[in-house]
Amino acid sequence: MATYRELLAEVKLRIDEVGATAAHERHGEALFVDVREREEWEEGAVPGAVHVSRGQLESRIEGLVPDRSRELVLYCAGGSRSAFATKALQELGYENVVSLAGGFTDWKRNGFPIETPRSLTPDQRRRYSRHLLIPEVGEAGQERLLGGRVLLIGAGGLGSPASLYLAAAGVGTLGIVDADVVDDSNLQRQIVHSTESLGEPKVLSAKRALEALNPDVVVKTYEERLTSENVERILGEGWDVIVDGADNFPTRYLVNDASVWHGIPVVHGSIYRFEGQVTVFNPGEGPCYRCLFPTPPPPELAPSCAEGGVLGVLPGIVGSLQANEALKLVLGIGETLQGRLLLLDALGTTVDEVSVQRDPACPVCGEHPTVTEYVDYVEFCAGARA
Amino acid sequence: MTRVRIPPTLRNEVGGERELAGAGETVREVLADISGRYPALEAQLFEDGDLAPFVNVYLGGEDVRTLDGLDTRVNGSSVILLPAMAGGC
């Protein structure tokens, strides 16, 4: 029977170890994996490291590091737990894994950089547990969401489900721009509001509902219609993503131009009767709204839901798709709808997709922009067909 | 025959139909065939013989503006007509 000391010595013979200096040289390229317990990790860690405690290593590593040829540096406090961990990963087929001899203690002693990871409270760990279980989200992703800022244009049909899911997901700051009050004709679909908020400004009704759903979320309200005069002030507060659920063309074009100039991605959704459209406009990366629709349609071709109606659940579907795109953009994961316009027909339950390309001649995001400051968007949209 | 998807905002012009079939080798011919039967649709789709700028036409999921425009050959793909929709309400 072997003693612990003998077992450790034997394991160390069968793995590769690096000292703190050699590990530091790999920092930035290799992925550092901290295998200590959570409390140790929270007190300070190697910047950029991921945390998987030794006990969960084998079960979680494939989700975190699918690529078995990835260069990994495992560390613990002193180099013993990471030695056993390194052997375990070798047995799982990881080809390029080393253990940091001397561990985090030696790393710190050498004066190499450390950081104190933001960490979730026990309440947050329970609330977001289903996110934490997904490798693509995990604790780092959840912290990103909590630090995320999403601006919603409109607290109506699309803004209702989008804001509810973004708040539930723990997006830390939500801005809502809407000048309307809750009307009883809204309640067939605008599920963030309720009968008791009739007559109340939508932004306040939404704020109450969202903060009740998730107290981690700060809701900033803008009880005004987005205009050329206030757009700089509102967008200037800094947003990661805009969710556009406006109900009119002038606002759509205004949001587009402002987002291009501010470099903020827009998750676009629109609905009418049984049909919806969803896409992502990512300035500098993909097309913008004007690349897709250079010219607004004449009013008779563009009735609003107030004129033509909308199935109540349709904004629920489209707004949820928008929330999905916004979450991926904040998390930096997956494939967004950039360059693709999703066409949803709820009556036939069909989904079509058409491609949207960047227009080099686009007046706002093209090679030689001709629109470089805010225009009168109401006039622009009214004058489409002179 | 080429299938042509009619958006909700243009269905009044075609007697409420959601989809129509048109004959022709090119997108222009297919749309002309349909417009011949529904003159009200022609008035919305075309301006001075060309596509109205606010109507997007897709063939097989690609914007015909990125292909050969209205002269793109249909080759068995289906057509989607798509004007912008504003509603978020």
Mutate to test the interface with B, among A152, A242, A293, A347 (most CBs of B within 10 A): A293
The answer to whether the Cβ–Cβ distance between A302 and B83 falls below 8 Å is: yes
The answer to whether the Cβ–Cβ distance between A270 and B62 falls below 8 Å is: no
Question: Are B67 and B59 in contact, with CB atoms under 8 Å apart?
Answer: yes
The answer to whether the Cβ–Cβ distance between A277 and B58 falls below 8 Å is: no
Helix H, strand E, coil C: the string for A123-178 is HHHHHCHHHHCCCCCHHHHHHHHHCCEEEEECCCCCHHHHHHHHHHHCCCEEEEEC
The reply to whether B76 touches chain A by the CB within 8 Å rule is: no
At residue A17, the pLDDT reads 96
pTM higher than 0.90 = no
Residues A129-181: pLDDT tens digits? 999 999 999 998 999 999 999 999 999 999 999 999 999 999 999 999 999 99
The reply to whether B44 touches chain A by the CB within 8 Å rule is: yes
Contacts of B44 in chain A (CB under 8 A): 301
Model ipTM value: 0.94
> Does residue A219 surpass a pLDDT of 80?
yes
pLDDT classification of B49: cutoffs 50, 70, 90:
confident
Residues A297-355: pLDDT tens digits? 888 788 888 888 999 999 999 999 999 999 999 999 999 999 999 999 999 999 999 99
* CB-closest option in B53, B58, B83 to A354: B58
In angstroms and rounded to an integer, the radius of gyration of the C-alpha atoms of chain B is 12
Residue A215 and residue A283: Cα distance in Å, rounded? 32
> Does residue A384 surpass a pLDDT of 70?
no
Contacts of A298 in chain B (CB under 8 A): 54
